[in-house]
């Protein structure tokens, strides 16, 4: 079984989570505010923040899967 706590303690995953979650919140807030206030400047912020948040999210998922695979591979005894 994979120990999720040790994987989530990875320094890079922590960094991506601390950066990606606020960036995603900014993207969503700028989309709503840009539409509600009819401000193209705030709407433009959405188009800048969204790709960054998606890229960080994809990188987080890929890193997590790689670390989980390494840990599972290290936990299983070698077969003959």
Q: What sign does the dihedral 33-38-40-41 (CA atoms) show?
A: negative
Residue 78 lies in a domain: no
69 lies in which domain range?
Answer: 4-73
Q: Which two tokens stand for residue 26?
A: 């900014």
Q: What is the rounded CA–CA span in Å between residue 23 and residue 16?
A: 10
The tens digit of pLDDT for each residue in 62-73 reads 999 999 998 888
Report pLDDT for 65: 93
Residue 80 lies in a domain: no
Provide the number of structural domains found in the chain. 1
The pTM of this model reads 0.81
Distance of CA 69 to the CA centre of its chain: 18
């Amino acid at each position: 079984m994979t120990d999720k706590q040790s994987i989530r303690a990875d320094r890079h995953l922590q960094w991506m989570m601390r950066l990606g979650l606020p960036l995603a919140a900014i993207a969503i807030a700028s989309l709503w505010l840009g539409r509600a206030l009819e401000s193209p400047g705030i709407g433009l912020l959405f188009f800048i923040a969204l790709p960054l948040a998606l890229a960080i999210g994809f990188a987080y998922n890929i890193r997590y899967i790689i670390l989980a695979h390494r840990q599972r591979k290290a936990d299983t005894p070698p077969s003959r």
